[in-house]
Chains A and B, each alone.
Chain A
């Protein structure tokens, strides 16, 4: 019995489908990643999971409770970090946590015991009395995460928790999310960062136009759906050279001034490219970003 299960979920607004026959499940202690371009339906799916949007079709269960009918009961065991910070600007960090704990009906003693621990977890002990306006972007996101943990949830719903953060702040966030997974919490994570998905998620769901277009472990998806190697070629004349050596790769893509060769046997192409010293080449293993671009295309989305 999974911790959370959504079956054949659909939701449309004004005739266009935002989520289309999507099924997902999360087991205890598991990190499920939802990746997809802007407008793929990730945020709507999270809102459905919380009972804040009623699906037009399909069924949702969290901890065996039907959603949205018993969403209030289920939400006692869920923690949420939304895409946009919604911290209370008039309260200090510690007060933000305390006030939020009361919404769960937690007794004062429980809140008093948890707040200092969560501030420490968020590396914000020194900022306990500071207001969110005085915090950096990374600190705000960590405070949002700490706030989502005030009810000691079994399941965390994280909507782009690291968007807009610098690399240091992002790494600290990843480290904290790892700790939470080790404690046995389950996480549903949406992200635009493929390295984040690869690093944290046990399983991935690739969404586009509200539909699931692939599912599997990060490594498994890459192995099953992609060639093992990528050779990127850029510089003057890259397109002409690409045409010349097209037959050496399984797949070739162009983006801006760069040509991407997707292949299983890189040596013949690398040798051929050695004859073009004016071009810059980069040989690397295929990664999740390649997969993402293969599945969802390279075009910029309207709302991106």
Chain B
């Protein structure tokens, strides 16, 4: 047997050249990539934050622009990691056959999946770092605790990359990813207290919201970006870790099945 489908992840240091490969490709395209990553949230912040914010006033005692900025930086981490682990990873896995060529060298599939997950999280971290700078420059927040939000956002990247890799392993084409975005991620952003407080929703929906990884992420990131300490730390961290661990393991099993069946 090559590797039992349900074996625990076996990661060796060979994941490193795979991660490095993705970094080297990204470096060639970094400028347009960063501009794209900043432009989109910047437009949202200006349009909704200042425009809608002037109508809304305060939300949970915060100016709306602050409420929105701290929430949408969390969404950006989730989206950036998801994009990378879906479209880009699928290109490398299926279209360019990059994974196949790597496995002809002494690198195992487990190493590749680990590298892809970590890379997607790193890319999310690059993205949100740029946005944090924008938040700082616009003066929305200039709290030193913003720096503490970065490792949390990296962990959000790990969580959403792991979940996305499950769908990558199941995909037969790019179209499949549209379902994940429209049926899973988009509703999640509206349920997770990014744009409006969860308390605005009916009770049963609030209970759903509290089980979502993005809600946990926002609970941690929002106070840190705005210079406060999260009301709860362990519980949301545990939610994120559970999604990350389960997502990653399921993704690994399904990817092994895809390649070695």
Contact = CB atoms under 8 A, between A and B. Distances in A.
Contacts of A54: 1-2, 260
Nearest to A77: B106
A100 B101 contact: yes
Given A54-B2, A104-B105, A86 B97 contact: yes
A86 B105 contact: no
Interface in A90-108: 90-91, 95, 99-100, 102-105
B28 A51 contact: no
Interface stretch (B13-21, B126-134, B161-169, B213-221): B13-21
Contact-residue size bin, chain A (C-beta under 8 Å from the other chain): 20 to 34
Contacts of B108: 72
A23 interface: no
Nearest to A13: B261
A73 B106 contact: yes
B172 interface: no
B104 interface: yes
Among A51, A88, A103, max chain B CB count under 10 A is at A103
Contacts of A80: 104
Contact of B105 (A85, A91, A100): A100
Contacts of B17: 99, 102-103, 105
B2 A52 contact: yes
B24 A99 contact: yes
Given A82-B101, A88-B98, A103 B25 contact: no
A104 B100 contact: no
Nearest to B3: A68
Contacts of B29: 90
A54 B20 CA distance: 29
Interface residues of B, number: 25
A50 B29 CA distance: 34
A88 B25 contact: yes
A75 B105 contact: yes
A150 to B, nearest CB: 9
Contacts of A104: 105-106
B235 interface: no
A51 B25 contact: no
A82 B101 CA distance: 8
A84 interface: yes
Contacts of B25: 88, 90-91
Contacts of A84: 97
Contacts of A95: 24
B28 A90 contact: yes
A73 B259 CA distance: 20
Nearest to B105: A103
Among A72, A76, A89, A91, max chain B CB count under 10 A is at A72
B4 to A, nearest CB: 11
A223 interface: no
Contacts of A99: 17, 20-21, 24
B211 interface: no
B106 to A, nearest CB: 4
A23 B38 CA distance: 59
Contacts of A272: none
B260 A75 contact: no
Given A72-B108, A103-B14, A86 B2 contact: no
B100 A102 contact: no
Among B20, B25, B106, max chain A CB count under 10 A is at B106
A53 interface: yes
A27 B260 CA distance: 28
Contacts of B107: 72, 103
Contact of A89 (B1, B18, B96, B100): B96
Among B20, B103, B105, B106, max chain A CB count under 10 A is at B105
A52 B107 CA distance: 11
B238 interface: no
Contact of A75 (B21, B96, B98, B106): B106
B205 interface: no
A204 to B, nearest CB: 24
Interface of A: 50-54, 68, 71-73, 75-76, 78, 80, 82, 84-91, 95, 99-100, 102-105, 147, 151
Given A72-B108, A76-B106, A88-B96, 12 more contacts: A52-B2, A52-B104, A54-B260, A72-B14, A75-B106, A78-B104, A86-B97, A88-B98, A90-B28, A99-B24, A103-B14, A103-B105
18 contacts: A51-B2, A52-B104, A52-B260, A53-B260, A54-B2, A71-B106, A75-B106, A78-B104, A84-B97, A86-B96, A88-B25, A88-B98, A89-B96, A99-B20, A99-B24, A102-B20, A105-B14, A105-B17
